[in-house]
Amino acid sequence: MRKLRMGMVGGGEGAFIGAVHRMAASLTGEIELVCGAFSSSAERSRKSGIALGIAPMRAYPNYRQMLEVESTLPSDARMDFVTIVTPNYLHYEIARAALETGFHVLCEKPLTTTLEQALALKDVAARTGRLVGVTFNYTGYPLVKHARHLVGLGALGEVRKVFVEYLQGWLAFPVERDGQKQAEWRTDPERAGAAGCLGDIGTHAFNLAEYVACLRVREVSADLTTFVQGRQVDDDAAVLMRFENGAKGVLCASQVAIDEENALTIRLYGTKGSLEWRQEEPNTLVVKWAGRGREVLRSGVNYRDRLCPQAIAASRLPCGHPEGFIEALANLYRGFAEAVRHHEGEPLAPLLDHPTLDDGVRAMAFVEAALQSSQAEGQWKTLKL
Ligand code: NAD
């Protein structure tokens, strides 16, 4: 089995998530980074590429040149897919250009800055026959997969209520005015999109809720707030959600929750039992059964007798050897790589799922509905899909 060849846009020196993507891709053992346009500056892109050990001529000055040149290389040399790790406003144009040039795309969240763009991307993907994955990486954890498995089996009965919370404190002060690079573009609607916290971490919470509940959200009522004076986007979001089966959800996302680090938590309540999973303790899943108390499940490749096949496939180590954020993202990369190989005709049945273009589009429909709802004093808005 040959390695898939990856090109990267963004993720140059000093960037946050690009380096995590490279570690995750490499952890799969089936992907190699062969080229990139790592920065908006041609010189920084070249320097970053060389520092990463890729051939200097494949450290491109910009993504357009990368797509153009790569598409003329022989099929046994050119990249197979592009991973996009730039600020949000560039996702759409880069993804679109990559699809049009014949490459599959793995894109960071949020997929685009508007629902209109996300739907347009869906058309382009359908027309070009290329795949798009979106890195809602929290679905890559073994115990999130097991939680989904339990709910999907109906083990917890019918889902009644979902609470999903994503709390961070790093934007509690106007750090964007002190030159904090990641804060600067995230609080600029031109570069982040109209949604701040809602788009940045609310979309993760939304995706996790739909994934674990095995249900789709139909409508939302939102209350978005900008607590830090002078900031142009929301830094706190409270959203009520109605799922298609009548279940109810409460989503809270905040980036002004002082001292919270990356506190993503989901609690789900069904008619027979409930569950609780916390991202900061990802190797534990608590299942609460009506009439027989709690069961604490732990992750580990040796727990074949108690975890579903997806959770086992997403684990690498025996119990007690903690796996975390990078491994979860690696599981998405593995799922996406399997989907690409399958798409290209390799005879394999993909073992691991990954968030797809539809998940990316749904998250944008959620963002748009929540923005509109908040502007209309919490009026219920239907996700337009
Ligand atoms: P960052 O500011 O740290 O990095 C952005 C990178 O993009 C920089 O290297 C910058 O030079 C580069 N860039 C900007 N314009 C470019 C262009 N025209 N061509 C090529 N490169 C360009 O940002 P970040 O925090 O790494 O976030 C990047 C993306 O990843 C965002 O969409 C963000 O929402 C997402 N993200 C996702 C997660 C997750 O957990 N899934 C975590 C963090 C960030």
- Using CA atoms, how far apart are residues 96 and 82, in angstroms rounded to an integer? 11
Q: Whose CA is nearest to atom 16 of ligand 1?
A: 40
Coil, strand, or helix at residue 267? strand
Q: Which CATH number fits domain 142-320: 3.40.50.620, 3.20.20.70, 3.30.465.10, 3.30.360.10?
A: 3.30.360.10
How many Å is the maximal CA-CA distance in the chain?
A: 65
Q: Ligand 1 centre from 28 Cα, in Å?
A: 22
The answer to whether residues 220 and 240 touch, using CB atoms and an 8 Å cutoff, is yes
Pocket of ligand 1, candidates 35, 44, 85: which has the most ligand atoms within 8 Å of its Cβ, to mutate? 85
135 lines ligand 1 (CB under 6 A): yes
Torsion 357-361-362-364 (CA) sign = positive
Bridge partners of 295?
A: 287
Q: Which two tokens stand for residue 382?
A: 């239907």
Q: Which two tokens stand for residue 145?
A: 């997969």
Report the pLDDT value the prediction gives residue 1, as an integer from 0 to 100.
81
The residue among 325, 251, 247, 274 whose CA lies nearest residue 16 is 325
Residue owning tokens 């929540």: 370
| 310 CB near ligand 1 (under 6 Å) | no
Look at ligand 1, atom 17, and give the residue with the nearest C-alpha: 40
Structure confidence at residue 350 (pLDDT): 83
The CB of 90 under 6 Å from ligand 1? The reply is: yes
Q: Are 97 and 192 in contact (CB under 8 A)?
A: no
Averaged in consecutive runs of 10 residues, what is the pLDDT profile of the chain (385 residues)? 96 96 98 98 97 97 98 97 98 98 98 98 98 98 98 98 98 97 97 98 99 98 98 98 97 98 98 98 97 95 98 98 97 97 91 96 98 98 96
User: In angstroms, what is the span from residue 273 Cα to ligand 1's centroid?
Assistant: 40
**What pLDDT, on a 0 to 100 scale, did the predictor assign at position 71?**
98
285 forms beta bridges with 277, 297
Segments of 15-158 assigned E as strands: 31-37, 81-85, 104-107, 132-134
Place of tokens 């062969």: 34
Cα–Cα distance for residue pair 125/376, rounded to 1 Å: 33
3-state secondary structure of 130: coil
CA of 39 to the centre of ligand 1 (A): 9
Gap from CA of 18 to ligand 1 centroid (Å): 7
Distance CA 185, CA 196 (A): 10
Which runs of consecutive H residues, i.e. helices, occur in 154-273? 181-186, 189-192, 197, 203-213
Residue type, 146: H
Ligand 1 geometric centre to CA of 378 (Å) = 31
Please tell me the predicted confidence (pLDDT) of residue 349. 84
- Residue of minimum CA distance from atom 12 in ligand 1: 10
Tokens, residue 87: 């600020």
Distance 258 CA to ligand 1 centre (A): 24
Q: Residue 321 carries which DSSP code? A: S
